[in-house]
Chain A
């Protein structure tokens, strides 16, 4: 067997080359004896992730794609730290600078590229580096410990990523760019300016339209001098102005070289048995510097080496997604409006969203997205497919794929490109899910979730994942009985029925009796059980605070940086000068970084340190709003008949009454109410869980609205005459929801699931309504203000304070 194997040598241990080998191993695992030479002293790693390493949160070891064990287990001979010095294409042999020789039958050149270093006087000084490999990354990290000022030359993708990383390392960073706006190769000016503004807010500085002329300093860099005579101080200069295909080895070995190593559609060079892929290769005049084309080339080459017939490589349309933290930018194709094209633009300065579609002869040829890049993959696949988008321009620009939705869901899924992202939260493509099903053997949504993370976060893509499962697994798809979480196979209704039947009274008891597979449950089932038990036994059940979600345990909303926000209860959105003054004084006293109006007409004190929470609640001496729990949030109101010339009823009074009636109520998911004083509906009551709209002589009651992920307008429940009737119906509706919805299920989903008619039928009879109302009052009667309790009780308050060590033992 070994004798019949051909010898394959790969020069370059980077992403492109090793990816091709991975492909080849799948197609023809035993065809070759493989030897890989890499100049860097590391196994194959993900160069794209270097910016994540710099930006923090990722360790160098985490970006290794294939560790040494992978090479061993595939019998690949690996030489790291070995640079190939020469290729003997006649005797088919390569030789490293350290004297190691290897013979080959097939040779792949994947030598990548070198950073282009501007030939400035002084560029050889200490503190002038590129941003290309692990070594550069380490130098930046080291430098940041002793020096402050960094300059990045180059306002392109790479430069901005380097700058963001340096910022994260605590350096002062200025980006020097020769063009008058940044990322001009991917973005148009509008998007670039929005991006710059965003990055400036993060602390980055920009020196635009600046041509670098010389680097000054003795041994180490001191400053950078520009052609206009000005200069900027710097302890570190990172050049990120571009890359240059690394062709030196090919050139001196007699292999044809243009900008890169010239290859045909099958990645063959002019020398038989020698191939080139990746950044070092030039295909149809283009040397690519992004990862997707390199992977496509690798796949084509692997097929060729495995002897599999396949289409050649025809070049790639590239797209860019900026990975700089907190900024979503996407561009693809020809974004700069070439002759004969037209551009459609959408710009929303308030939310910081910009979209541009470039269209030529009814086809989409380019797109730029800023701020909202959710449609990027879809637009990119339209650019690649080249299909006509006539009549769909508007929906594409505004992100509403109405035509597409009309097609049958499975046909749409089938037609979808492999690289289109299904799960936006975790970046899982259709192809990855298909692979998990066809080769990974996943037969349920749960398995796909565990294998790929698709639908593991917000779950909005679950219908698509289910569709793909049906498409690819067909009959093999197991409709595994999914319980409320992975700890049980029981669904919500079964659990609630069992709790009632056996009179189970604690979370632990439920888990024991109903045979939970995880002894202590998980973050999904514990809060659900806590809710169901409290709903069923309001007067007996002792709420289990450790089973509450974070926001409800700390009675404030946790923010991304670990701080919290406090929203004082302001009934109906009506406040007084006295209350405002108190809030303002507390905000000043505790240095609250931001005071913001919420969408529900309340004041949000953002950025509060955990240990300050009890002190703030104490000084405010106002209920702190339950603004982030699964509970009644706010009752939004318009001015109504109190001041408005159109108002037909007292919407403010009604709103305040409802908020006082239902505050502190535990509900399956958050509940929002609104009261509008006339059908103009200024309080937006028709996208609330329970919306009240005043009409002449009465009130319309609406239910099941949602302004969130899936916008849904309310359904009309009924029309009533008096304020008391509004409260009666609201109580009955909310209690019926509390008793029948799953935990975490908004009224909008619940109304759609059970149908409005079933709810109407349950509330139709006045006696039933009053009974529901009685039960909701019982539930409300046992609620307390958790803030007062925490302020008063040392034992609860301690959890907000850090421990201080007692002594060194």
Chain B
């Protein structure tokens, strides 16, 4: 487990996302409308769609390829589809806005 300082919360638009590579894995970081930052592997369990390009609705993201919905808190795919995406711990320093990702 490594904890990395990956930047500032301002680097990510609200209801938007940014990506980063850790080893061979691409991780998508989302900033929800309430400011919370969440991270999942950037790969839809269905056909590998890049979730970072999907639409963020509440705390869910819609995969841009076939509209599967993924809960960003749990990584779980919503009914009627099934599956799961790995999630990662993100901490945001409330004072500075620094974002830390644990992988």
Contacts and interface: CB of A to CB of B under 8 A. Distances in A.
A33 B45 CA distance: 39
B13 interface: yes
A802 B18 contact: yes
Nearest to B81: A453
Contact of B45 (A57, A522, A554, A562): A57
Contacts of A451: 80
A809 interface: yes
B64 A550 contact: yes
B83 A523 contact: no
A803 B56 contact: no
Contacts of B18: 798-799, 802-803
Interface string B48-78: 1110011111100010111101000000000
A596 B31 CA distance: 36
B55 A803 contact: no
A457 interface: yes
Contact of B55 (A450, A519, A547, A558): A547
A585 interface: no
B80 A452 contact: yes
A526 interface: yes
Interface in B1-49: 2-7, 11, 13-22, 29, 33, 45-49
Given A546-B16, A550-B64, A806 B6 contact: yes
B62 A558 contact: no
B100 interface: yes
A546 B13 contact: yes
B46 A550 contact: no
Which of A558, A803, A807 has most B Cβ within 10 Å? A803
A566 B61 CA distance: 25
Contacts of B33: 520
A554 B53 CA distance: 8
Given A519-B58, A562-B50, A803 B6 contact: yes
Contacts of B49: 560, 562
A808 B2 CA distance: 8
Contact of A456 (B46, B80, B82): B80
Nearest to B49: A562
A457 B47 CA distance: 14
A549 B55 contact: yes
A547 B47 CA distance: 23
Given A519-B58, A521-B57, A546-B13, A806 B80 contact: no
Contact of A546 (B7, B29, B48, B56): B56
A799 B6 contact: no
Given A558-B53, A562-B53, A799 B13 contact: yes
Contacts of A805: 4-7, 20, 22, 101
A804 interface: yes
A63 to B, nearest CB: 11
Nearest to B17: A799
Contact of B5 (A522, A610, A806): A806
Contacts of A522: 57, 62, 69
A617 to B, nearest CB: 17
A165 to B, nearest CB: 16
Contacts of B67: 457, 523
A553 interface: yes
A549 B100 CA distance: 29
A271 B24 CA distance: 58
Contact of A523 (B19, B22, B50, B57): B57
A518 interface: yes
Contacts of A553: 53
A523 B55 contact: yes
Contact of A560 (B22, B56, B58, B65): B65
A703 to B, nearest CB: 30
A62 interface: yes
Nearest to B26: A802
Nearest to A56: B48
B54 A550 contact: yes
B62 A808 contact: no
Contacts of B46: 57
B4 A523 contact: no
A297 to B, nearest CB: 28
A520 B45 contact: no
Contacts of A807: 4-5
Nearest to B29: A803
A22 B4 CA distance: 50
B37 to A, nearest CB: 11
Contact of B14 (A523, A546, A549): A546
A457 B69 CA distance: 13
A452 B79 CA distance: 10
Contacts of A549: 55, 64
Contacts of B22: 805
Contacts of B47: 57, 560
A673 B46 CA distance: 35
Contact of B15 (A62, A453, A546, A561): A546
A558 B16 contact: no
A57 B49 CA distance: 11
Interface in A47-100: 57, 62
A804 B80 contact: no
Contact of A802 (B2, B5, B21): B21
Contacts of A804: 20
B79 A450 contact: yes
Nearest to B58: A520
A806 B55 contact: no
A8 to B, nearest CB: 31
Interface string B79-93: 111110000000000
Contacts of A546: 13-16, 55-56
A449 to B, nearest CB: 8
Contacts of B50: 558, 562
A699 B101 CA distance: 63
Nearest to B48: A57
8 contacts: A450-B79, A521-B57, A523-B57, A546-B15, A549-B55, A558-B65, A799-B16, A804-B20
Given A57-B47, A450-B80, A805-B4, 10 more contacts: A453-B80, A546-B16, A546-B56, A549-B55, A558-B65, A560-B47, A562-B48, A805-B6, A805-B22, A809-B4
